[in-house]
Amino acid sequence: MITALSDDTSRLRATVDFVSQQDSETLLPLLLPGLDGPELRALVERCRFAHAALLLFPPHPRALDAALTECGLLPGAAPQPSVVVRDRLAQRHHRAAADLDVGILRPAVHGRDGRPRMVEVFTLTVPPGSGLEAIAERERAHHDEAHVAFEVAAPDPLVLRGLRASFARYGAAPDGGGYNPHENGTVFYFAAPATSKADYRRIELYAPGDHRDQLAAHLAEFRAGQPAETMLRLLTGAWTTQALTTFAHLRVPDAMDTDRAVDIGTLASAVDADADSLSVLLRHLAGFGVVTEEAPGSFRLTPAGALLRAGDPGSMRALALMYGGPFYQSFAALTHTVRTGQVAFEHVFGTNHFDHFARDPRLAELFDRSMAASRRMFEPLPAHPVLAAAARKPRGATVVDIAGGNGELLTHILATHPGLDSVLLERPHVIEAARPRLDARRCTFLAGDFADVPPGADVYLLSRILHDWDDARCLDILRHIAGAMPADADLLIVERLLPTDGSPSLAAAWDLHMRCNVGGRERTAQHYARLLTDAGLTLVGHTPLPLEGRVLHARRTSPAVTP
C-alpha cells in the first residue's frame, strides 16, 4: 500500500509540474506533430491550455489530503461525485456503479505564463481489502482517464468547425463528448495521434455554451469508427423513449428538485414506485442528462428533466406521453408503411389519428397539449416583421390562426401586439378548450375547417399544419387561403424544412413520423415554393426558428385561385 500511495503522489506531482510548465504554444505541437506556423498560431489564439487530469486511488480521504499537500495543492473542499468517470470505470471493469466511490477535485495551479490553470483530480477510494485493488492496478498502468484540456475562447460554429478540422488534419480522432447543462459547457474528446510526443493520449476541447449542433457532427464521426456500439445504441433507442414516458407518467420530475438531490427511498415513496427499479430507471436517464446521481442512490433533476414536469410553463410531458403511447404503438407497424406507403396508425387503430383522438376526450386533450408543448419553436414568431407591420396599421389589423389548436400561439401574438385582433379557426371541441386562454374582446372563435377561412384579414397563420397532409390536400388548403386573402395580406407558415445537402436534421425524423402516423410529410423549401405557386401564392422568403423550425412568408401574386 505504501508503494501504491507513493506512486499516486508521484503521478500527481508530475501532473502538477506538467500543468505549471506547459502552455498552448508548446503543448499543441507535442500532441499534434507537424502542427506549426500559421495554423499553430491560429489554434493558440483560439484555445487555451486549461488543465490536465488524472485518477488517484487513496485508501481514505486523509491520504488524499496528504498527497495534495505534499504536491503543494490545497486540499480544500471534499471531492464532488464524478458520475461520468464512475460510469466509465463501471463499464470498463464490469462492476456496479454504486460500488465505486468516485469523486472530483480541481485544485488551482499557476502556469509559467502566470495564467491560472487546474489539475483535475479524479479519486476512487480503495480501502484495504475492498476488492477494488485490481481496478487501481489496471488504471495506474493504462491511464485511461488521463487527459489534457483546452478551453475555446469565444466559440462560435465557424471556430469550432475549424478547430475540429485542424485536430483531424493532424491525426486526432473523435473520441466522444457531451453537453453539461449544469455548467452550460460542451466537451469534445479526441484520441491523440499515435505519433504524439506527449504522455497524454486523450485531448479535451471545452467550449463554454451550448454547441450541440457541432457536438452532433463530432459524435457522428466518433460513432462511425465504432459501428457495433453505434448500432447497439440505436437499437435500444426505444428503451429510452419508454424510460422517459415512465418518468413522466409516474410524475417523478414533479417530486424532484433541480437545486438539491433526493434519496431514492424518499422519491419512490412519493411516486408510489419500487425503489430498486426506480433507481435503475434514473441511472439510465442520467446517461442522457435528464437527472444526475449526486451520490449513490441520491438523484437531482436537471433543467432538461424539468421539461417533463406536469404543470410547468413549456412542459413537454404531453409529448412524452404521446410519443410513448399511441404513436409508440403505431411505430411498431412502421414496416407496413414502408412496404405499402399506407399510414401505420390507421393500420393499427382502424382510423386516422384525428378521428381516433377525437373519440376519446382524454386523448384529444393530450394531443392538443402535446402540440402546444412545441411552443419553443414559435416563441420568436410574434416579433416577425410581418406581424409587427400589421400591428402598426392605424386602422387596426386582424390575424387569422388556421387550425390554431388551443390558442397558445395567438395568446403570445396578442400579448406582444396590443393593437391586433384575431380569429381562431378550429374544430368545435378545440375552440371550447381555447376560450379560457383568449380574450373574447380580441379573438373571434370560428368553428369550421379549411374551407371556412374568413376573408379580409391582414395576416394568416399556418403553424405546423401543412406537414399533416399530402400535396393534393396541401394545395387545396393553400387555395382556400389564397381565395380569402386580400391582395396586400400575408401568409406565415411554420414548418421544419428538409435539407437538400444531406446534413442531419430533425425534419428527417419528423418526415418518418408523419408518413407512419399521420399520412403527411416534411418538405424542402423548394417543394413548398412549388405548392405555393400552384395555389396562386409566392414564397417571399423564410427565416429560422428554434428547434430547427422555419417561418415561411408568402403573398398573393395572382387573382385568387378557387379550389
> What is the H or E stretch that residue 123 is in?
strand 116-124
Closest CA to 344 of 367, 322, 326, 321: 326
Within 8 A by CB and 6+ apart from 220, the residues are 504
DSSP assigned state of 181: T
Long-range pairs for 533-542: beta carbons < 8 A, 24 or more residues apart: 534/475, 534/478, 535/475, 535/478, 535/479, 535/481, 535/482, 535/561, 536/479, 536/482, 536/560, 536/561, 537/478, 537/481, 537/482, 537/491, 542/497
Backbone angles phi and psi of 386, in degrees to 5: -60, -45
- How far is Cα 69 from Cα 375, in angstroms, rounded to an integer? 53
Helix-, strand-, coil-residue percentages of the chain, each rounded to 5: 45, 20, 35
> What is the H or E stretch that residue 204 is in?
strand 202-208
Closest CA to 401 of 393, 410, 392, 390: 410
Query: Active site residue: 336, 353, 384, 467, which one?
Result: 467
Within 8 A by CB and 6+ apart from 14, the residues are none
Which triple of cell numbers denotes residue 549?
423550425
DSSP E strands, 476-536 = 490-496
- How far is Cα 496 from Cα 509, in angstroms, rounded to an integer? 11
* Residue 425 burial class via C-beta count within 10 angstroms: exposed 0-12, middle 13-18, buried 19 and up: buried
Distance of CA 370 to the CA centre of its chain: 18
**Which residue carries 483530480 as its cell?**
121
- How far is Cα 501 from Cα 492, in angstroms, rounded to an integer? 25
Cross-strand pairs, 420: 397
- How far is Cα 244 from Cα 238, in angstroms, rounded to an integer? 10
Within 8 A by CB and 6+ apart from 246, the residues are 281, 324
Largest CA-CA distance found in the chain, in angstroms, rounded: 90
Cross-strand pairs, 479: none
Characterize the bridge pairing of strands 420-426 and 397-402. Answer: parallel
- How far is Cα 57 from Cα 136, in angstroms, rounded to an integer? 6
**Can 467 be counted among the known catalytic residues?**
yes
Within 8 A by CB and 6+ apart from 9, the residues are 67, 70, 71
3-state secondary structure of 438: coil
- How far is Cα 190 from Cα 172, in angstroms, rounded to an integer? 6
Active-site residue list: 467
